[in-house]
């Protein structure tokens, strides 16, 4: 039975790298008829941020990633917040001590600083608390049982550290990276239980994954250095470890390193799914939802940051992603984020959407602009304009002239295309169009053609002036569409206004 989990920490907004990790877990679970669990890892109270958990839940709701068990859903392995599972971890930490796999350490921060300095001065291969230094420190390995018991009875602060074996090759398998071998001499004795009575990520993570029967751990490559410790913990408990897969990083658009909020701020694109407001500084960070991205376009874009289907196809529905996803096709190397490609994905989805779906987002924009119109008219506009823009909010800038008659005219367009004599022939053209009984695009075009030919003006000259009169500039959609949408009365009113206004 496939059981996977996504386990974020509520320390701030959810980075798109985290969303991609959750997405790959979701696709893997759905493809294999498995279960996806949401666990909140909130054992580090010093980094806890109010509102972050709510943000995480809302982000996944917008993305369309649904969890089968976990926070907000419930399930047989509740509770799913680590802060509510404290007593569970104490038991397992004690078990490791009893088995000689972990030990109490009473060292003060000052004593740890002295150790680090000493090891650095000695130019030791490993400058951390570990096999080479543990017997020099104040812990249950170097002290007598009586001394340890006395310190505990005196409520002396302590942590519980894992006893990393000396000079042992740790052999691990990764679904993406293959065999990974690390020698234990390069590793330190990590803290498993802190002096505040809470476990560290390492202990809580392993215990929860075991108790929740996680079969596959799919996580970011930033956790790869923790894999040897996690493997050793599974061995220490005598548990079968899950199958691991470490996903590649999402890289900056330019230069080296992981994509960060700073990159987004600098280049003007979001790195979070939803807008986030820092409760301390009131600083706002952009979100894909608020920037006008469709959730399905956002998901499609994310899926391709590290995975490819093996062919040229790029547009996938969620169902198609589920059917096509294969973790063997996830790359080992980092995926470079391309802001322009993200916009391209949104444009593709906008073009595919029915006007009836687009207009629901466009009507509030019209209301904000003080425009009153029918849904049918707005829908017609959306259908014509959608191929010219990338976002729904851009439809207004590309089509405002269809809702409001121009009160002024683009000076460059007038200078170039509204010459001496234009007013006269435009006045005559208006009279001719007024006589049309059936004001259809076909009849309008035929009449303008005939007029241009009779007056020997050239079609371009007439159409350029006609566009300026109706639109206010030399750009816009096909003029026959403009005429059809505006109707005869509005077309003539705009022409007459232009004739009177433009000298």
Hey, which residues are catalytic here? 261
Query: How far, rounded to the nearest angstrom, does the alpha carbon of residue 190 sit from its chain's CA centroid?
Result: 32
Contact 413, 390 (CB under 8 A): no
Is 165 in a helix, a strand, or coil? coil
Rounded Cα distance between 286 and 284, Å, is 7
Is 474 in a helix, a strand, or coil? coil
Rounded Cα distance between 136 and 125, Å, is 17
Contact 479, 466 (CB under 8 A): yes
Question: How many beta carbons lie within 10 A of that of residue 459, not counting itself?
Answer: 13
Residues 6+ apart with CB under 8 A from 122: none
Contact 321, 362 (CB under 8 A): no
- Name all contacts of 170-175 with Cβ < 8 Å and 24+ positions apart: 170/228, 170/231, 170/232, 172/227, 172/228, 172/231, 172/244, 173/243, 173/244, 174/224, 174/227, 174/244, 174/245, 174/246, 175/216, 175/243, 175/244, 175/245, 175/327, 175/328
| DSSP designation for 429 | H
Cis peptide before 226 (omega within 30 of 0): no
Rounded Cα distance between 101 and 160, Å, is 10
Instruction: List C-alpha distances in Å: 381 to 223, 490, 493.
Output: 49, 16, 20
Contact 329, 308 (CB under 8 A): yes
């Amino acid at each position: 039975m496939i059981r996977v989990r996504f386990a974020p920490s509520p320390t701030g907004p959810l980075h798109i790298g985290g969303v991609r990790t959750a997405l790959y877990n979701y696709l893997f679970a759905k493809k294999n008829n498995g279960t996806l669990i949401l666990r909140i890892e909130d054992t580090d109270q010093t980094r806890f941020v109010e509102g972050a958990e709510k943000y995480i839940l809302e982000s996944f709701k917008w993305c369309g990633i649904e969890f089968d068990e976990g926070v907000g859903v419930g399930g047989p392995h509740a509770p799913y917040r680590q802060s509510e599972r404290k007593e569970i971890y104490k038991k397992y930490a004690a078990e490791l001590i009893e088995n000689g796999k972990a030990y109490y350490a009473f060292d003060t921060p000052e004593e740890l600083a002295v150790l680090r300095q000493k090891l650095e001065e000695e130019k030791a291969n490993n400058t951390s608390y570990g096999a080479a230094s543990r017997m020099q420190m104040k812990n249950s390995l170097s002290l007598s049982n009586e001394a340890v018991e006395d310190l505990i009875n005196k409520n002396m602060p302590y942590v519980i550290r894992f006893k990393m074996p000396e000079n042992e090759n740790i052999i691990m398998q990764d679904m993406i990276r293959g065999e990974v071998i690390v020698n234990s001499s390069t590793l330190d004795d990590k803290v498993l239980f802190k002096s505040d009575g809470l476990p560290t990520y390492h202990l809580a993570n392993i215990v929860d994954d075991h108790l929740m029967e996680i079969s596959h751990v799919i996580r970011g490559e930033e956790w790869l250095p923790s894999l040897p410790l996690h493997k050793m913990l599974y061995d220490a408990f005598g548990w079968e470890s899950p199958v691991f897969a470490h996903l590649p990083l999402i890289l900056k658009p330019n230069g080296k390193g992981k994509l960060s909020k700073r990159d987004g701020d600098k280049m003007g694109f979001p790195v979070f799914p939803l807008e986030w407001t820092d409760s301390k500084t009131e600083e706002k960070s952009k979100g894909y939802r608020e920037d006008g991205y469709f959730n399905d376009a956002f998901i499609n874009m994310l899926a391709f940051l590290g995975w490819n289907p093996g062919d040229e196809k790029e547009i996938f529905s969620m169902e198609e992603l589920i059917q096509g996803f294969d973790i063997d096709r996830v790359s080992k190397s980092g995926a470079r984020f391309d802001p322009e490609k993200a916009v391209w994905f949104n444009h593709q989805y906008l073009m595919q959407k029915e006007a009836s779906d687009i207009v629901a987002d466009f009507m509030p924009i019209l209301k904000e602009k003080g425009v009153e119109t029918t849904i049918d008219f707005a829908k017609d506009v959306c259908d014509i304009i959608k191929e010219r823009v990338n976002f729904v909010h851009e439809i207004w800038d590309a089509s405002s002239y269809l809702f409001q008659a121009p009160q002024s005219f683009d000076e460059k367009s007038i200078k170039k295309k509204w010459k001496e004599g234009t007013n006269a022939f435009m006045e005559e053209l208006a009279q001719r169009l007024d006589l049309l009984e059936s004001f259809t695009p076909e009849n309008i075009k035929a009449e303008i053609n005939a007029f241009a030919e009779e007056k020997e003006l050239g079609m371009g000259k007439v159409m350029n002036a006609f566009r300026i009169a109706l639109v206010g500039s030399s750009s816009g959609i096909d003029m026959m569409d403009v005429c059809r949408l505006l109707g005869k009365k509005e077309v003539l009113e705009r022409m007459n206004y232009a004739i009177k206004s433009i000298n």
